[in-house]
Structure formats: structure tokens, C-alpha cells
Copies of this chain bind each other. A is one copy, B any other.
Amino acid sequence: MNERNPLIMKLEQGAALSDEDRQRLRALTAGGKEVGADVDIILEGEAPNAVRLVMSGLACRYKALPNGRRSIMAYLVPGDFCDLHIAILGEMDHSISTLTPCTIVEISTQTVLELLQRPMLARALWWSTLVDESILREWLVNMGQRAASQQMAHLFCELLIRLQTVGLATENSFPFLLTQAELADTLGLTPVHINRVLQQLREDGFIVLKNHYLLIKDVPNLMDYAQFTPNYLHRRNNGGVTLKIT
């Protein structure tokens, strides 16, 4: 009870874990390595020999572009795997970098194979990669079909739910360490335009964003504005676990 391990908190959403499953996961995730902000974890073209997992902080998947910009294709929050798949694909087709200081755990391929012997854990890991894929699809919809301010709002809603799942957001707020340039790389917009969009959202009373903290003033209202429906996150109890303000 009162679980604080983000990996376990997340995987509970995908499968009914046993106490022993949880024990294994807890053992695995002890003693990660501290990494600073803006540090590359894995580079495109590499073929890593272990699986990595974010236990604290915020990281991202990205591709570096010929013109010097980069495209961020996913955020990795605590409990997210960097490269659960790479053993099969051979080489990374994208890079992973920290956005804030992070705790990264390395798990040997051997250990992963052991985990996969346990049916519920195998199912939970499968679930987690399928949810990652589902998020990619929703991002595609987001970028293709919504106005910039809606895209931004949608991203906020998604982060709220995902951080709630691992106990890092209250019911309507969470620490927000992303720079406007990073948001620009994510949504494929200009930093200047990101800036104006944020001001718009503030003026319209949707959010308060200051001191590296984001507060959503009326969550259902913002979700409505962003056309956000949480089904694509495949949570069992949507946002059921929220941080208690103490």
C-alpha cells in the first residue's frame, strides 16, 4: 500500500500485479544513476546492451534534424522505459536525452528476460509499450488537426494524467520544468509562437504557469478546449491516484 515506486504505480494500470511481482520490481529499481539535465542517454544508431528506465525527472525521445533543430517525439516521465524494444530492432532510430536532472536505472537483458517469465509482468510490460504507441498516435492527431493553443492544452492534459498516475501531480497541477524552446521542438512550432500561445492560455484563464509550476484552473474545461479524451492512455482508473497536498 501507499506505493511510491513510479514503475510499479504505472504498471498497476496495465495488469494486476502480485506482491511478488512488486517485490521484483522494487529490487530492480533500487540504486539508479543520477544524471544532469540535457545529457544524452542513448544516441541514434547505437545498439544498447541493457534496458534503461527513468525513475525520476523528465527525459525525451528526439531526432536531430539536418537544420540543427530537433524533433521531440515523446516525453519519458518516471516509470517509463527508454528502450524496452531495442534488442529486436538492432539499432536505435532516435536518441534519448534528459530534459531535467534524472535518475536512470539500468536493467540487464538477462533480468528483463526473467521478468518476462512472470505472466502478469510480461503483460504489464507489453501494455506499457502499446500505450507508448497509442500516445504517438494521439500526438499525430494533435499536431495535425488542432490549433496551436489546443495542442498546447492537450499536452498539458496528458502530462497531468501521466504524472498523476505516478503520484507526481495533484489533481490540477504539477511541476513544470520545460523551456519554451523544448515545447517548440515538441509541437513543431517556433519558440516565439509558443510564447504567444502560452500568453493566450494565461489570458483566457486556462492556466497559471509560473515559478516552474503549472496550475490548470479548471481541468474539465481545459480538457474540453483541447478535445482531450483520456481513453488513449488506457488507464484503468483515470487519474485515480493523485498526489495528496501535505
Contact = CB atoms under 8 A, between A and B. Distances in A.
Interface of A: 14, 61, 63, 65-66, 69, 71, 73-74, 85, 88-91, 93-94, 123, 126-127, 129-134, 136-141, 143-145, 187-188, 227, 231-232, 234
A88 B127 contact: yes
A166 to B, nearest CB: 19
A65 B147 CA distance: 13
The DSSP consensus for interface residues of chain A is helix
B127 A89 contact: yes
A126 B127 CA distance: 13
A246 to B, nearest CB: 34
A161 to B, nearest CB: 14
Contacts of A14: 88
Nearest to A188: B144
14 contacts: A14-B88, A61-B137, A65-B145, A65-B227, A71-B144, A73-B140, A85-B130, A88-B126, A89-B134, A90-B234, A91-B231, A93-B138, A133-B136, A136-B137
